[in-house]
Amino acid sequence: MQTMKNEVILLDDDYEVLRGFLGKDKLMTINEKENIKHLFDEVNRARVVSKDEIPANTIRLNSTVVIKDTSNNRVMALTIVLPEQADKRKHKVSVLSPIGTALIGYRKGQQVDLRVSAGRKNFTIMDVYPSRPETAPIHEN
């Protein structure tokens, strides 16, 4: 999971959606259940703002984020979505996945340290789009 404590900023609508996952753990996969505690830690410490106040470069639900793995400089674009919209082939990741949970509420330029099955990964947030643009890279090496 994420260990770096960047400030989390959430759009008030996203905050309500994410809080709505409380009590729905019976419907979640085992992996989602493992991530839900971390997500709620993030949600509970978040600064919740209105649409007029949220910085444009903040990762929200349905945002596409371009990240770079600092260990190998691999660049990829992911769209953060609700669990039922996740689709690996389309690079849509659930907000309840480890990377989705780690990225939500962060901004361009921040770094995220993530524990994965293979060890630790560090990502730099290169860019954030409110929705998936046609020009966002899927993978670059």
> What pLDDT, on the 0 to 100 scale, is given for residue 28?
65
Percent of the chain whose pLDDT exceeds 70: 79
Give the global pTM.
0.81
3-class DSSP string for the chain = CCCCCCCCEEEHHHHHHHHCCCCCHHHCCHHHHHHHHHHHHHHHHCEEECCCCCCCCECCCCCEEEEEECCCCCEEEEEEECHHHCEHHHCEEECCCHHHHHHCCCECCCEEEEEECCEEEEEEEEEEECCCCCCCCCEEC
Overall number of domains in the chain: 1
pLDDT at 18 (0 to 100): 87
Phi-psi region of 129 (alpha: psi -120 to 50; beta: other; left: phi over 0): beta
The CATH number that applies at residue 93 is 3.10.50.30
CB proximity list for 126: less than 8 A, separation 6 or greater: 66, 67, 68, 75, 108
Please report whether residue 2 resides in a domain. Answer: no
The verdict on residue 65 lying in a domain is yes
User: Which residue would you say has higher pLDDT here, 130 or 134?
Assistant: 130
Please classify residue 10 by burial: count the beta carbons closer than 10 Å to its beta carbon, then call 0-12 exposed, 13-18 middle and 19+ buried: buried
pLDDT at 30: 66
**Segment 5-49, tens digit of pLDDT:** 678 999 999 999 888 876 666 556 666 666 777 788 888 889 999
Answer yes or no: is 129 within a domain.
Answer: yes
In DSSP terms, 128 is beta-bridged to 65
Q: Quick check: is 17 in a domain?
A: yes
Domain of 33 in residue numbering reads as: 9-140
